[in-house]
Amino acid sequence: MFVSAAAVASAIALINGTWHNELGSTVDFDVDQNGTISGQYNSAVGNAESVYVLTGRYETDPVDNQGLTLGWTVNWHNDVLDAHSVTTWSGQYFGGDEEVIQTHWLLTRTTTLEDLWESTHVGTDVFTRDAPTQDRIQSALSFGSPSPERILAKN
């Protein structure tokens, strides 16, 4: 199937750049025409320190009037900390007046074979172009919003 250069350029323009989740963490996406996402994840919560490399993929042939699918992975290991865990986000970009990336995530951390049942956690994140206000962050925290970083902080 032929994918037009215009469709790919549109997808790149839609998701490229900086995004913020409801807890104040940021992702910086650098996307290419082949569907590859690279960039950095900077956590605002938990024990995650500094920035972490991310890699992922996005849909290069978006369907009109539907979400654009994408996903990325962060290995919680950098020069400052090794949390022995990985988180993968999968979701969709939706445009309009307020751009948003709605995601579900899976965090898997190292455990023994006997504790495998508790190795994977599931949650959601909503990413927007605008950083959340402190009131919004406090509201998300007051509801006990799980995040990969908060889960890792408990260990």
- For the cut 90, the answer to whether the pLDDT of residue 28 exceeds it is yes
Structural domain count, the chain: 1
Asked whether the whole model's pTM tops 0.85, one would answer yes
- Kindly state the tokens that stand for 120: 């994977």
Highest mean pLDDT, choosing among 2-6, 42-46, 122-126: 122-126
Query: Containing H/E element for 109?
Result: strand 100-109
- Work out the average pLDDT over 58-86: 91
- Work out the average pLDDT over 90-112: 93
Alpha carbon distances (Å) from 147 to 43, 58, 65, 75: 10, 22, 30, 14
pLDDT category, 120, cuts 50, 70, 90? very high
Range of the domain at 14: 5-153
At 121 the pLDDT is: 94
Report the CATH number that the domain containing residue 146 is assigned in CATH. Answer: 2.40.128.30
At 107 the pLDDT is: 95
Residue 88's nearest CA partner among 109, 111, 67 is 109
Strand ranges inside 59-109, DSSP E: 68-77, 82-94, 100-109
Q: Which residue has the higher pLDDT, 153 or 39?
A: 39
Residues for the chain: how many in total?
155
